[in-house]
Amino acid sequence: MWCYTFIISLLLINYVNCIDYGSYKHKSEYVTVREGAHMFYWLFYTTAPVEHYTERPLIVWLQGGPGGSSTATGNFNILGPLDLSLQERNYTWVKNFNVLFVDNPVGTGFSYVEDLSLLTVTNEEIAQDFVTLLRGFYSSNPEFEDIPLYIYGQSYGGKMAIDMGIQVHEAEVQGFLKSNLSGIAMGNAWISPVDSTLKWGSLLLAAGLVDQEGYEHIQTEAREAERLFNEGQYVNSTLQWAATQRAVFNRTTSVDFYDILTKMPVSAPDTRSAIEQARDMMIYDSPYVSNTERNEEWNLGNLMNTLVKELLEIPENVTWGSQSDAVFDALRGDFMKPVVKGIEKLLNETNIILTKYNGNLDLICSTPGQILWVDRLQWDGAEEYRNAPRLPIWEDNRLEGYYKSYGNFRFFWINYAGHSVPRDNPAGTNAFLRDMTSFG
């Protein structure tokens, strides 16, 4: 379906809300990636001052979770044209790029499976579906085949992006897919989960958010998650990771895992199990999932299942987010597995740019946890990267962070940002966007 200017109104409690995309041209479509498995994308064409939108790159945005919706959270919460107040976002990426939001894996957001047995259970299966999704996308939109393609994944989306990158590149080489994959970005990404978990305690201790006793308690729980993983008990390691989160909540009186300078708003005892609490935090991009929002903002689920569903003509039998919990649960055995070897493969065998960016206020995918696996990378430029200078990032006379690079790998430390850097620090975000794409 093609969408140009759409205004859809809904009368709610004596006032009218509507979605008005004005000059933002967009398109949405389903791609059947396997029999009974249907993946959904929502494309926004750039409004950059160019003669044709194909003069700008195509960026795929992947949300985390697994089970987090790109078309909802990535779009309305982070970088799409409109925010949750349905007002225009002045730093939307659509001003510089064509942006493709994908509800991935199948079962996420508006993507759905006809039977839950069709959900993916490994990162490799997720990547296979993504290649099929891209084939469907390029079949409908062949004008994008030759322009640079960049995959940006946040949190678990960054983990998924690595195997996607490998399989997209292989499909390009084999002639199975005509695309131009040029870069992959991992934003506060779940690359090496054990490393991330082991650094929670030390970051909290350094920030003064726990005392020595609290630190030792958290580390004991984290080391147990590591032990279970090393023994190959991957599902139990995931459950223990959730228990470690619960220990952090208890010892910090509910620090926000996505920004250590804030606390979770807690209005009632949390009756969810540790794994349910952790799952909800990963899927919904917040450690605290509330049924009420500020008066001027939409509840994301209500918005997607009313105005957006009508706008995009989603099938009546599809409910946004209804299978998201099942998506997370299906991947429990894969959740704690790292993708570091995949990064090494991409660095050693391709010219694809790999960018690691991290908001320094994040806890769940904290910068110290990222540095652990980065320093262990085995690739041709590893020694040169270690010896490369760490340079400041200045934007409008403000120090937004630092970066370090060699060859096709770079690391960006971003100040004034937590888990979601594009939302928290748009100015700092411009630095790594320009580095990879020349725009931003």
CB 331 within 8 A of CB 127: no
Nearest to 126 by CA among 170, 171, 172, 157: 157
**DSSP letter, residue 143:** G
CA distance 412 to 403: 4
Catalytic residue among 155, 237, 286, 405: 155
The answer for residues whose C-beta is within 8 angstroms of residue 388's C-beta and 6 or more apart is 404, 405, 406
Torsion of CA 274, 272, 248, 65, to 10 degrees: 70
Please tell me which residue in 103, 259, 280, 362 is annotated as part of the active site: 362
- Considering the candidates 419, 420, 424, 435, report the single residue annotated as catalytic: 419
362 flagged as catalytic: yes
User: How many CB atoms lie under 10 A from the CB of residue 372?
Assistant: 15
Q: Is 273 a catalytic residue?
A: no
CA distances from 195 to 200, 250, 320 (A): 9, 21, 33
Rounded CA-CA distance 50/56 in Å is 8
Q: Cα–Cα distance between 408 and 110 in angstroms, integer?
A: 35
Question: 389, exposed or middle or buried, with CB in 10 Å at 0-12, 13-18, 19+?
Answer: exposed
Identify which of 62, 66, 100 has the alpha carbon closest to the alpha carbon of residue 323.
66
d(CA 152, CA 185): 5
How far apart CA 27 and CA 98 sit, in angstroms, is: 11
Give 278: exposed, middle or buried? Use CB within 10 Å, 0-12, 13-18, 19+. buried
User: Is 155 a catalytic site residue?
Assistant: yes
* Active site (catalytic) residues: 155, 362, 419
